[in-house]
Amino acid sequence: MSGERVLLVTGGSRGIGAAVCVAAAREGWRVAVNYASNRKAAEDVVRAIEEAGSVAIAVEGDVGSEAGVKAIFSAVDAGFGRLDGLVNNAGIVGPPQRIDEISAERLDRMLRVNVTGSIRCAAEAVLRMSTRHGGRGGSIVNLTSIAAVLGAPGQYVDYATTKGAIDTFTVGLAREVAAEGIRVNAVRPGIIDTEIHASGGLPDRARDLAPSIPMQRPGTAGEVADAILYLLSDKATYVTGAILNVSGGR
């Protein structure tokens, strides 16, 4: 059990983030459920956490803006007064486009949410968790993607590039704070059956791509959550800087 430990999950209202929130609650974490705009979904996750016997708050905030990041961490400070874990899960895709079709606005937003948002949230977490700053230590798990390795040509090279940056960030930050009580790891999901595909205009993408996946099926949010919970847990006390593929062999 994780006792009174507090976990912040960015993008905790739906998909993989929501599965992490509920799985973490079952392991005794108190949970801050961040969302961008879907308050109802976040409140449903809070209710599921309470039904699992733990405590949660819904925290509005856009990780793609500095004001949003500040608001998220202020709400965690006010609600729980401590932080022990961060899952940098909030992320976006766009509709399939070649690089010569992608607008500057889309690229800017993708970088701000997927890269700057994750780095800024990690920085705020380090300020609260690092023994260098008087904290108790903690654990950070970043969501990257198997797209970081495959490059996603013809679909979303911009998205894949943001996840490549998260791979590098994971290794660098892990080494930077390893002696300060903080472990930093990442999971690289493959094709997971969530609403992210519909948000990119391809609602059937997970089913359509199943034949190209060695295991012949998309993964579930719960399967990714299990890997994240392992990396957060005390079963992984000597694991840092690791990037775990959760991709059905893709």
For residue 52, CA distances in Å to 9, 64, 177 come to 17, 31, 33
Q: Which is nearer to ligand NAP, 13 or 161 (CB)?
A: 13
Tell me how far apart the alpha carbons of residues 236 and 152 are, in angstroms, rounded to a whole number.
Answer: 31
- Backbone conformation region of residue 7, classed left if phi is above 0, alpha if psi is from -120 to 50, else beta: beta
**CB of residue 134 to ligand NAP, shortest distance in Å:** 28
The tokens of 171 are what? 């290794």
- 220 interacts with ligand NAP by CB under 6 A: no
Q: Which is nearer to ligand NAP, 17 or 135 (CB)?
A: 17
Q: Say if residues 49 and 31 touch (Cβ distance below 8 Å).
A: yes
Give DSSP secondary structure letters for 187-214: EEE-SB-STHHHHTT-TTHHHHTGGGST
159 is catalytic: yes
Q: Which is nearer to ligand NAP, 128 or 250 (CB)?
A: 250
**CB of residue 40 to ligand NAP, shortest distance in Å:** 9
Q: 47-60 burial by CB neighbour count: b if 16+ within 10 A, else e?
A: ebbeebebbbbbbb
**CB of residue 204 to ligand NAP, shortest distance in Å:** 13
Determine which residue in the list 7, 36, 122, 232 makes contact with ligand NAP, applying CB under 6 A. Answer: 36
Determine which residue in the list 2, 145, 170, 185 makes contact with ligand NAP, applying CB under 6 A. Answer: 145
- 90 interacts with ligand NAP by CB under 6 A: yes
Among 192, 140, 146, 190, smallest CA distance to 169 is for 140
- 194 interacts with ligand NAP by CB under 6 A: yes
Determine which residue in the list 2, 5, 7, 14 makes contact with ligand NAP, applying CB under 6 A. Answer: 14
> What stretch of H or E contains 113?
none
**CB of residue 53 to ligand NAP, shortest distance in Å:** 23
Residues that bind ligand NAP (CB under 6 A): 10-11, 13-17, 34-38, 41, 62-64, 89-92, 113, 143, 145, 189, 191-192, 194-196, 199
